């Protein structure tokens, strides 16, 4: 263009670079994308990162599979402090060589107690800036900028890590669509709305891995703890990585304080405070948990608080309904919210779980936000629910058992029902720790009517499974509760059951004292049925105490009482005990007749378990009569039947007797085999009879 005789280059529109040249022979065009940075924003690996081997393997395979259909997207979720960011960092460092265009990292601050969550608009600008896009190119609407980001990423091979996401809405616009890219998103919430994502949900560490993490942390700090101390510390920290890290910080540099720290963490009222007292408030356990808790709807927050009042880490849905007071349809939605926030986890279709630190936090919030009356009502609903469910279980375990009228308080929610004996036994075993805790809680709160009734209801399960420590612990408290209630019949019932436990634990003096008092109290209450059962078990106790004649007299009186009240099942039980005592006294003919009558009585009432018990008595009489081949055949059949029906304690008893018969027959190898089977069972039950079986094994010759 000519103007006033001067030649100019003239351009209309806008340009970022203007080149003035007299003559251009060759032009090389470089795209803006080619000038962008190759980000390497992943932090250093964490030296004490432990395990997660299988989760890492699956995630690594997906991120590096260029033949995968659709997007390569992984969501990493888990409870607060479980190590999601550490997992993403370890994963990124393991696969970074597969992404030549770098690793792009962005913290979305979804659960930051100080900063607000990063809005998608700001996040897109941040990502573009980290790619090196000049500010002048970051303009236009949010949709335009998001499209610009996707366009740039379409031709790149980049790993994108979006850490600490709040929800799907925050994440979705930030996902690259190019086949060369892969994305890892971490969140405390399960981001189920991200199409095509593979989910990795991190749990607390297994105990061995938690111990390894602590050991590594202590090695860095030059501290040496015993294996027992490391184990206790890991368990007190619920094997939660953040808590383990904090505990190590409390001890590193101050090894003399290790025992004190462990002792303070062992106090449930101090544990959260101890794990929240560091200078870095953002890593304090209470703050970390609070960020997730505060984002819940009000109804879910209350449910979480009330769940913290439950006795254990594993909670059935029915028990959750009882303690929260929410009906099942409403509770289902609430639990979905808590699971999505990773404040509880699904154990299976019927149970949820919550690790110890979160339970302590939930209980702490309940104490702060629920009135004492509200907390008491929730726990009472729970204890009452356990009582009703235990009554149903007892009836299924032994429909022939005599029962004390309990006058149960009404349940506020549906309780458990059982189709058969095995289902009831399985439920009791699953809930044993909670049932025991319910008795203890009721006793400590002064709900003595609930305490003794629940313990009495558990007697049949305890008799079948022999959990000695829990049996004695619940019944000693229950006896105190029954006395405080002035329940004479209840005291007698508890004493009779407690005496059986003492007898089985080889505490004969304590057993005999409780049996005698129980009989007096049953007579005082006019309960002939209870008296008959107690005399029956007292007879067996006298036999074990070395006074079989007194035992025979008690069992004869028991048989008479059972016949007076027409209790065929009780009669069979007393006859079977009487048969064993007569064997000791040498009254073998009558002993065989009593045992055979007992078999018929149990067969009439259709109780296979008790019938096997009586058949065991027949085998024992054969042994005393010297009819050893008949005894061996009978006992072998009974042992097999007892194992088949799940009576493992009875099976071990029969195997013990069978071993003696086989030894007397000269079948040493078979005797050793059956005694070893008996020993395995007694050891598993922590039964003191294991010692006598070991002595029997020692008597066998080596051949």
Mean pLDDT of the region 168-173 = 95
Please tell me the predicted confidence (pLDDT) of residue 137. 65
Looking at residues 504-531, what average pLDDT do you find? 95
- Residue 76 scores a pLDDT above 60: yes
Task: Map 21-81 to HEC letters.
Answer: CCCCCCCCCCCCHHHCCCCECCCCCCCCCCCCHHHHHHHHHHHCCCCCCCCEEEEEEECCC
Least confident of 55-64, 67-76, 663-672: 67-76
pTM of the shown model: 0.81
Work out the pLDDT band at 30, boundaries 50, 70, 90: very low
For a pLDDT cut of 70, what percent of the chain falls above it? 93
Average pLDDT over the chain, rounded to an integer: 90
Phi first, then psi: what are they for 107, rounded to 5°?
Answer: -85, 120
Looking at the DSSP bridge assignments, the partners of residue 660 are none
**pLDDT of 224 above 80:** yes
Instruction: Give me the pLDDT at residue 280, please.
Output: 59
- pLDDT at site 79: 94
| pLDDT tens digits along 140-162 | 899 999 999 999 999 899 999 99
d(CA 649, CA 577): 17
> Would you state the pLDDT for residue 67?
78
Query: The tokens of 14 are what?
Result: 């806008």
Which is more confident, 20 or 130?
130
pLDDT of residue 20: 41
Q: Which of 207-216, 500-509, 586-595 has the lowest mean pLDDT?
A: 500-509
| Consecutive H or E run containing 7 | strand 6-7
pLDDT of 3-25, one tens digit each?
A: 343 333 333 333 333 344 444 44
pLDDT at 509 over 80: yes
pLDDT of residue 687: 86
User: Comparing 125-129, 399-403, 469-473, which segment has the lowest mean pLDDT?
Assistant: 399-403
Beta bridge partners of 198: 74
Residue 279: pLDDT band with limits 50, 70, 90: low
Mean pLDDT calculated for residue range 519-537? 96
**Pick from 405, 374, 375: nearest CA to 391:** 405
Q: Across residues 236-257, what is the average pLDDT?
A: 91
Report how far residue 625's alpha carbon sits from residue 613's, in angstroms, rounded to the nearest whole number: 19
The string of pLDDT tens digits covering residues 175-197 is 998 889 999 999 999 998 898 89
Judged by DSSP in three states, 182 sits in strand
Could you read off the pLDDT of 623-660 as tens digits, one per residue?
Answer: 999 999 999 999 999 999 999 988 898 999 999 999 99
**Averaged over 485-495, what is the pLDDT?**
96
What does the pLDDT read at residue 123?
A: 95
Inform me whether the pLDDT recorded for 27 exceeds 60.
no
SS3 of 185, please? strand
- Between 276 and 37, the more confident residue is 276
Phi-psi region at 83: left, alpha or beta (left = phi > 0; alpha = psi -120 to 50): left
Q: What is the pLDDT of residue 25?
A: 43
């Amino acid at each position: 263009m000519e103007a006033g005789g001067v030649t100019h280059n003239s351009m209309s529109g806008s340009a970022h670079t203007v080149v003035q040249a007299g003559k251009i022979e060759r032009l090389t065009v470089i795209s803006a994308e080619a000038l962008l940075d190759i980000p390497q924003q992943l932090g250093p690996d964490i030296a004490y990162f432990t395990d997660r081997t299988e989760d890492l393997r699956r995630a690594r395979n997906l991120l590096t599979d260029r033949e995968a259909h659709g997007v390569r997207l992984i969501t990493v979720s888990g409870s607060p402090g479980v190590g999601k960011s550490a997992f993403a960092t370890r994963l990124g460092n393991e696969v970074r060589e597969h992404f030549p265009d770098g690793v792009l990292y962005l913290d979305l601050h979804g659960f930051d107690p100080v900063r607000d969550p990063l809005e998608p608009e700001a996040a897109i600008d941040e990502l573009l800036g980290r790619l090196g896009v000049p500010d002048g190119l970051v303009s236009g609407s949010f949709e335009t900028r998001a499209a610009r980001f996707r366009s740039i990423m379409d031709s790149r091979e980049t790993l994108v890590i979006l850490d600490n996401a709040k929800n799907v809405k925050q994440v979705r616009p930030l996902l690259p669509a190019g086949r060369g890219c892969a994305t890892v998103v971490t969140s405390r919430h399960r981001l189920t709305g991200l199409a095509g994502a593979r989910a990795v949900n991190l749990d607390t560490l297994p105990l061995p891995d938690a111990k390894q993490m602590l050991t590594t942390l202590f090695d860095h700090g030059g501290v040496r703890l015993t294996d027992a101390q490391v184990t206790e510390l890991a368990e007190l920290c619920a094997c939660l990585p953040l808590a383990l890290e904090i505990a190590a910080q409390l001890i590193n540099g101050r090894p003399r304080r290790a025992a004190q720290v462990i002792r303070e963490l062992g106090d449930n009222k101090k544990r959260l405070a101890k794990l929240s007292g560091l200078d870095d408030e953002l890593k304090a356990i209470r703050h970390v948990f609070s960020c997730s808790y505060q984002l819940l709807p009000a109804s879910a927050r209350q449910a979480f608080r009330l769940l913290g009042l439950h006795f254990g880490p594993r909670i059935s849905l029915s028990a959750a309904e009882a303690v929260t007071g929410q009906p099942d349809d409403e509770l289902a939605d609430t639990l979905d919210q808590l699971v999505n926030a990773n404040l509880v986890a699904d154990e299976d279709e019927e149970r949820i779980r919550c690790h110890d630190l979160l339970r302590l936090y939930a209980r702490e919030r309940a104490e702060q936000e629920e009135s004492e009356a509200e907390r008491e009502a929730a726990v009472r609903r729970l204890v009452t629910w356990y009582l009703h469910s235990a009554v149903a279980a007892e009836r299924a375990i032994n429909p022939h058992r005599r029962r004390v009228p309990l006058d149960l308080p009404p349940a506020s929610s549906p309780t458990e029902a059982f189709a058969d004996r095995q289902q009831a036994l399985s439920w009791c075993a699953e809930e044993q720790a909670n049932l025991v805790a319910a008795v203890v809680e009721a006793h400590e709160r002064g709900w003595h009517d609930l305490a003794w009734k629940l313990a009495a209801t558990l007697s049949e399960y305890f008799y079948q499974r022999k959990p000695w420590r829990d049996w004695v612990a619940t019944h000693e408290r229950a006896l105190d509760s029954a006395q405080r209630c002035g329940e004479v019949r209840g005291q007698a019932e508890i004493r009779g059951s407690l005496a059986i436990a003492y007898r089985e634990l080889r505490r004969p003096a304590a057993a005999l004292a409780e049996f005698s008092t129980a009989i007096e109290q049953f007579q005082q209450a006019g309960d002939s049925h209870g008296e008959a059962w107690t005399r029956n078990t007292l007879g067996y106790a006298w036999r074990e105490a070395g006074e079989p004649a007194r035992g025979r007299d008690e069992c004869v009186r028991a048989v008479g009482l059972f016949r007076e009240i027409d209790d065929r099942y009780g009669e069979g039980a007393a006859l079977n005990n009487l048969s064993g005592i007569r064997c000791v006294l040498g009254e073998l003919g009558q002993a065989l007749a009593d045992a055979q009558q007992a078999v018929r009585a149990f067969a009439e009432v259709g109780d296979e378990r008790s019938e096997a018990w009586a058949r065991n008595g027949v085998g024992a009489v054969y042994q005393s009569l010297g009819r050893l081949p008949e005894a061996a055949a009978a006992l072998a059949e009974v042992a097999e039947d007892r194992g088949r029906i799940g009576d493992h304690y009875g099976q071990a008893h029969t195997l013990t007797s069978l071993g003696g018969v086989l030894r007397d027959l000269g079948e040493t190898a078979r005797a050793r085999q059956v005694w070893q089977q008996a020993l395995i069972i007694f050891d598993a039950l922590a039964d003191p009879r294991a010692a006598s079986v070991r002595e029997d094994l020692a008597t066998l010759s080596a051949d």
